[in-house]
């Protein structure tokens, strides 16, 4: 069965370190998204991609970067981790950008703690 | 900018009750609206998706309605069960430049007790 996976599921790191969170989907979806979820804010969009070599900034992109070298993967990199980036991170994918019946499929999340 | 609000933030009911969760959004130019379920420590599972041209969708004991002109949606859960306990999130997909991205509400945390 097709799925979307994230790794690691839990990560503890120190301020200033570079961290990469992996996202892998086997749906062959063009669209991929990274969200963070925080108490009091809900889910907020960090970066998104509509296809290979395409990346775009979301509403909370500062301090994060992504690259899309193939259809299946969209890794999220924290260039220099900050305590404000302690959060739960969700990756999602969807099939086409112009299909109004499009459903987003979410990964299980990565809980990141920056000390 | 699209803003999505969910009321109430938390709800605790005895098993068997019918209940309504509310969602409102500020920009009516949407492609669709989705309701998700999130269990503690888990990802999001899509429950129902309503296209902008539709008024409602049903799945089992769940019924979601959409009034696009007033910017409102409701999720109706019939005969609630303890297994329905979870956080329910409403999300809209806008027409416009950022196709595919979702705007989320903060969720309603539901507890159904036996």
pLDDT tens column, A29-67: 989 999 999 987 889 999 999 899 999 999 999 999 999
Q: Please answer yes or no on whether B42 and A109 come within 8 Å at the CB atom.
A: yes
Q: What is the pLDDT of residue A103?
A: 80
Helix, strand, or coil here: A84?
Answer: helix
Q: Please answer yes or no on whether B99 and A98 come within 8 Å at the CB atom.
A: yes
Q: Please answer yes or no on whether B101 and A50 come within 8 Å at the CB atom.
A: no
CB distance A89 to A77 below 8 Å: no
The rounded percent of chain A whose pLDDT value lies above 90 is 77
Tokens of A9: 């599921």
Residue of B nearest to A109 (CA): B43
CA distance B5 to B55: 19
Residue of B nearest to A91 (CA): B43
CA distance A81 to B64: 40
| Average of per-residue pLDDT across B1-26 | 95
Q: What is the pLDDT of residue B35?
A: 96
Residues 6+ apart with CB under 8 A from B31: A100, A102, B51, B52, B93, B94, B95, B99
Tokens of B26: 């500020």
Q: What is the pLDDT of residue B94?
A: 84
Q: Please answer yes or no on whether A108 and B51 come within 8 Å at the CB atom.
A: no
Q: Please answer yes or no on whether B51 and A101 come within 8 Å at the CB atom.
A: yes
Q: What is the pLDDT of residue B100?
A: 73
Residue of B nearest to A43 (CA): B104
Q: What is the pLDDT of residue A109?
A: 95
- Residue (of B104, B83, B107) closest to B8 by Cα position: B107
Cα torsion through A59, A62, A63, A69, rounded to 10: 60
Helix, strand, or coil here: A85?
Answer: helix
CA distance A34 to A23: 9
Q: What is the pLDDT of residue B67?
A: 96
Task: Provide the shortest C-alpha distance from residue A12 to chain B (in Å).
Answer: 16
pLDDT in tens, A4-18: 999 999 999 999 999
CB distance B47 to B37 below 8 Å: yes
Sorting pLDDT into bands at 50, 70 and 90, what band is B97?
low
The rounded percent of chain B whose pLDDT value lies above 70 is 96
| Average of per-residue pLDDT across B74-102 | 89
Q: What is the pLDDT of residue A100?
A: 55
pLDDT at B98 over 90: no
Q: Please answer yes or no on whether B43 and A100 come within 8 Å at the CB atom.
A: no
Q: What is the pLDDT of residue A102?
A: 72
Q: What is the pLDDT of residue A104?
A: 85
Residues 6+ apart with CB under 8 A from A106: A4, A90, A91, A92, B36, B43, B44, B45
Q: What is the pLDDT of residue B99?
A: 66
Q: Chain A contacts of B44, Cβ < 8 Å?
A: 90, 92, 106
pLDDT in tens, B41-81: 888 999 999 988 999 999 999 999 999 999 999 999 999 99
């Amino acid at each position: 069965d097709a799925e979307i996976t994230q790794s690691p599921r839990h990560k503890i790191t120190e301020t200033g370190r570079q961290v990469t969170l992996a996202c892998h989907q086997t749906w062959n979806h063009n669209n991929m998204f990274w969200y963070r979820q925080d108490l009091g804010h809900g889910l907020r969009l960090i970066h998104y991609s509509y296809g290979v070599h395409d990346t775009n900034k979301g509403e909370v992109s500062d301090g994060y970067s992504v690259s899309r070298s193939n259809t299946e993967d969209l890794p999220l990199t924290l260039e220099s981790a900050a305590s404000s980036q302690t959060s739960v991170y969700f990756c999602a994918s969807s099939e086409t950008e112009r299909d109004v019946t499009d459903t987003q499929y979410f990964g299980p999340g990565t809980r990141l703690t920056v000390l | 900018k699209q803003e999505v609000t969910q009321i109430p933030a938390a709800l605790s009911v005895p098993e068997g009750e019918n209940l309504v969760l509310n969602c409102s959004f500020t920009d009516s130019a949407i492609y669709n609206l989705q309701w998700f379920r999130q269990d503690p420590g888990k990802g999001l599972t899509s429950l129902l998706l309503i296209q902008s041209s539709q008024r409602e969708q049903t799945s089992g004991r769940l019924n979601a309605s959409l009034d696009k002109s007033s910017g409102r949606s409701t999720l109706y859960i019939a005969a609630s069960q303890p297994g329905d306990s979870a956080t329910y999130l409403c999300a809209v997909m806008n027409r416009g430049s950022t196709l595919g991205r979702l705007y989320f509400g903060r969720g309603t945390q539901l507890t159904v007790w036996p």
